[in-house]
Amino acid sequence: MKILPLCAAATLLASPALAQTKAPDPARLKATVEALVRFGTRHTLSSATDPKRGIGAARRWGAAEFGKIAKGCGGCLTVETVADRFSGPRAPDGVEIVDVLAIQKGMGDPDEVVIVAGHIDSRVSDVMDATSDAPGANDDGSGTALVIEAARVLAGETFDGTIVYALLSGEEQGLWGGKLLASTAKARGWKVRAMLNNDIVGNTVGQNGRIVADRVRVFSEGIRSSEDQKAGLTRRATGGEDDGPSRALAKKIDTIAQENPQIGLDVFAVRRPDRFGRGGDHTPSLELGYPAVRFSVGIENYDQQHQDLRTENGRVYGDTVDRMDFPYLARVTALNVATIRELAAAPAAPATVSLDGALSMDTRVFWDAVPGAAAYHVYWRRADAQDWTDGRIVTGATQAVLTDVVVDDHFIGVAAVAKDGMESLVTFGGMAPRK
């Protein structure tokens, strides 16, 4: 979707996400996944201390890769680990979960944070089997490689906001690394603008043999899981089921993909938080109210997920490197990078947007001022549509009148825009507070 501004500030929209200096490299992504597979298993209950095999060795290797990138950019990344003990049916004796983080501190408002994550742990058929080879090339060596590659590409660039590159553990045992990441964000007072979870992002041949190489699914929730009863009542009266922060993030990613055709990916914005009845490492972030989505391949191959390495009746099972498509993984990485670039450079989204226009042919929109915003982008669409169709750039004001836009028939939202055109997520317009 390309929004044509109705006023003179057209330069504000000049392809901001195109300022690309380095591109994700399929060969380097492949080398990262191969290195991960060489740890034999990365099962969460495997050895944390063995120097060559198991989750501990893999995590230390991931931290060392971040360290190399940090060295190459004059210390632009701080590498650290966060840890906590978790237990549950899939770890009855408890296990220490460690997340490896590389933090690229923002130059303007470092508390504003964009997170990109993948899980480094792997598994085979029996989720308690911590000793068999579990290559986890695609699940989730692909997401892990994407996160490290995103750090390589973005290192050395400067942003107002902070970027956190996260390698998570314990996904297969209970989304514990995702929980630890979300609680770390909360404890540190991070204002999370986006949490991009990448899980299974590196194959293009489906279970049925179909090839889908030009599409990525982005899963998002419409109504935020952290919504309280009062907010729920307001939303039921005014709409917004397709416009929660997670859905706004998915729509933003879709827009970025369309504005960057050189990436070569169509976003299939699935209106569901994750695959049917399932969850991922973004789920704990959603529970805390952070805008979070899951990227996953356009078509899945279940013979290559959570399977013991074996051949049965000529059918090959297992999550191995040879089944992956690295040029595709590079495209998904490029879309993550473009999204991070824009959101780490944009102002924050307006805290609230209110509408007024009952019994009128016009709608008045007003919103909270955002520090650092050079302008605002007011969006609207018919109330039977999902994606924004119309927009107007507003400068020097925190309100606008949309003539002949009847509030009953339209959804309206506002994004904050930086000097260079980078735009925040869209905040959905609700009921004006009674004065």
**Residues of this chain that bind Zn ion (CB under 5 A):** 139-140, 199
* Closer of 224 and 294 to Zn ion (Cβ): 294
Q: Smallest gap, in angstroms, from Cβ of residue 122 to Zn ion?
A: 8
- Closer of 162 and 283 to Zn ion (Cβ): 283
Residue with Cβ nearer Zn ion (140 or 325): 140
Provide the minimum distance between the beta carbon of 164 and Zn ion in the complex, in angstroms, as a whole number. 19
Contacts of 382 (CB under 8 A, 6+ apart): 389, 409, 410, 411
**Least separation in angstroms between CB 177 and Zn ion:** 11
Q: Measured from the CB of residue 423, what is the shortest distance to Zn ion in angstroms? A: 31
Decide: 236 and 223 in contact? Cβ < 8 Å. Answer: no
The nearer residue to Zn ion, 142 or 220, going by C-beta atoms, is: 142
CB of 358 to Zn ion, least distance (A): 47
User: Which of residues 202 and 244 has its CB atom nearest to Zn ion in the complex?
Assistant: 202
Question: Shortest approach of Zn ion to residue 280 CB, angstroms?
Answer: 7
If we measure between CA atoms, which residue out of 183, 414, 202, 192 comes closest to residue 325? 202
Closest contact distance (angstroms) between CB of 136 and Zn ion is 8
CB nearer to Zn ion: pick between 65 and 140: 140
Question: Nearest distance from residue 140's CB to Zn ion, in Å?
Answer: 4
Quick one: 139 or 242, whose CB is closer to Zn ion?
139
Nearer to Zn ion, 199 or 274 (CB): 199
